[in-house]
Structure 1
Amino acid sequence: MNTLVKAYRPNSFPTLFDSLFSDVDFFADNRAGLSMPAVNVKEDTEGFTIELAAPGVKKEDFKINLDEKVLTISTESKNEESEEKENYTRKEFNYSSFSRTFRLPKTIDTDKVDANHENGVLKITLPKKEEAKPKEPRLITVG
């Protein structure tokens, strides 16, 4: 059975340094300003479906890149607020981003990959190639 595999797995081999430098771990998925959205991956006879929950993210903020058999879903948002009063100035900056990468099986028809965004859920359809779909059983007669 072919499956989708997350290509990068940080902290898959925890070490002593993970606990020593947990406050400055620049490669962890739980660092400040980064929240990983929940992802569901479903498979049926027609292909795979990836559903990524990202409430508050607009469809134009998503960047979906398909390079060979590697699918990358990412977004980046920046927000700046400033307020000036008579005796003070307040400026706030907010930056958030995430990136998820999946290695696709060879059975995916990469020319027919499609994406749709509705109600805070990004849905990516990855259809299987015709030769990878299950075939109906047939009776072979002996001649």
Structure 2
Amino acid sequence: MSTLIPTVKNGNKKPSESNFNLLPNLPSWFDDMLGKGLGTEFMSNFNTGITLPAVNVINSDNEFVIDMAVPGLKKSDFEINVDNHVLSIGVESKTENSEKTESYTRREFGYSSFNRTFAIPDSVDADKISADYNDGILKIHLPKREEAKRKPVKQVKIS
């Protein structure tokens, strides 16, 4: 699971619940080992060449926007869920082709899927999250709560 944005308190990152924060957790260690040590050729789906898509996370004054390039899919292929401050983006795509002629029959099929998860900060209004998919780009809009939006700088006059 990726963290959408680190939580900051009093200018420092939020302390972890345990003193073992220097040790990597097993899933992140395994992902790092596969992603860096063995190369990305093991991360792709050999049927379609689809890899785990990279994302861009944009932090504007009013919202976070997650951009994901996933061409060749339909809106119905996506499943986007929010549960207990976790945003989950999943895709499952199946293709099937068959061809018959006098001398042979051929049937090809493929299957690809991925799932990306992100921790959503408390500053996001989870009830107003929306998504759109155009020209192979999935955009997920995570609007910030009113109290979390950046306010303009206020100049204080000295009396």
Where on the TM-score scale, by shorter chain, does this alignment land: which range? 0.7 to 0.9
Deviation at 1:13, TM superposition (A): 5.4
Which residue is 2:46 aligned to? 32
State yes or no: 1:49 paired with 2:68. no
Preserved contact between residue 35 and residue 97 of structure 1 (Cα < 8 Å) = no
Q: 2:156 aligns with which of 99, 119, 139?
A: 139
- What is the TM-score normalised by the length of structure 2? 0.69
Task: Give the direction of change, closer, same or farther, for the CA distance of 1:45–1:36 in structure 2 (3 Å limit).
Answer: same
Consecutive unaligned residues of structure 1, counting only runs of 5 or more, are 23-27
State yes or no: 1:87 paired with 2:106. no
- Deviations, residues 72-121 of structure 1 (Å, cap 9, x unaligned): 11111111112222232211111111111111111111011111111110
RMSD of the TM alignment (CA)?
A: 2.7
Task: Give the direction of change, closer, same or farther, for the CA distance of 1:61–1:12 in structure 2 (3 Å limit).
Answer: closer
Q: Secondary structure at the match of 1:40?
A: strand
Percentage identity across aligned positions?
Answer: 45
Task: Give the direction of change, closer, same or farther, for the CA distance of 1:29–1:9 in structure 2 (3 Å limit).
Answer: farther
Q: Distance in 2 between matches of 1:29 and 1:71?
A: 22
Which residue is 1:25 aligned to? none
- What is the TM-score normalised by the length of structure 1? 0.76
Q: 1:14 aligns with which of 15, 18, 33?
A: 33
Work out which structure has the larger RCO, using CA pairs closer than 8 Å and 6 or more positions apart in sequence: 1
- Give the residue type in structure 2 aligned to 1:96: S
State yes or no: 1:111 paired with 2:134. no
